[in-house]
């Protein structure tokens, strides 16, 4: 999976990286993916979830939740 340009629901690349990293850690800890995919790497699954709009995040002073 490649991102020539960032998905429409992401305001900048930093947000994309932080959100994907947090979601990938959740998947590694045992969370079920929210989409069907043939990929098996947690980061790739997280990026696919973000791209499809299945993952939502909240920006706070402490960071992204």
Q: Going from the N-terminus, what domains does the chain have, and what CATH number goes with each? A: 17-64 (3.90.940)
64 within 8 A of 15, measured Cβ to Cβ: yes
The gap from C-alpha 2 to its chain's centroid, in whole angstroms, comes to 13
Instruction: Work out the mean pLDDT of the chain and round it to a whole number.
Output: 82
Mean pLDDT of 33-39: 89
pTM of the model: 0.77
How does pLDDT run across 4-35, given as a tens digit for each residue?
A: 555 666 778 888 888 899 999 999 999 999 99
Q: Is the dihedral of CA 59, 62, 20, 16 positive or negative?
A: positive
């Amino acid at each position: 999976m490649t991102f020539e340009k960032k998905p429409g629901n992401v305001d900048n690349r930093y947000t994309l990286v932080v959100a994907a990293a947090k979601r990938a850690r959740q998947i590694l800890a045992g969370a079920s993916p929210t989409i069907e995919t043939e990929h098996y790497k947690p980061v790739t699954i997280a990026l696919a979830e973000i791209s499809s709009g299945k993952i939502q995040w909240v920006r706070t002073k402490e960071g992204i939740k």
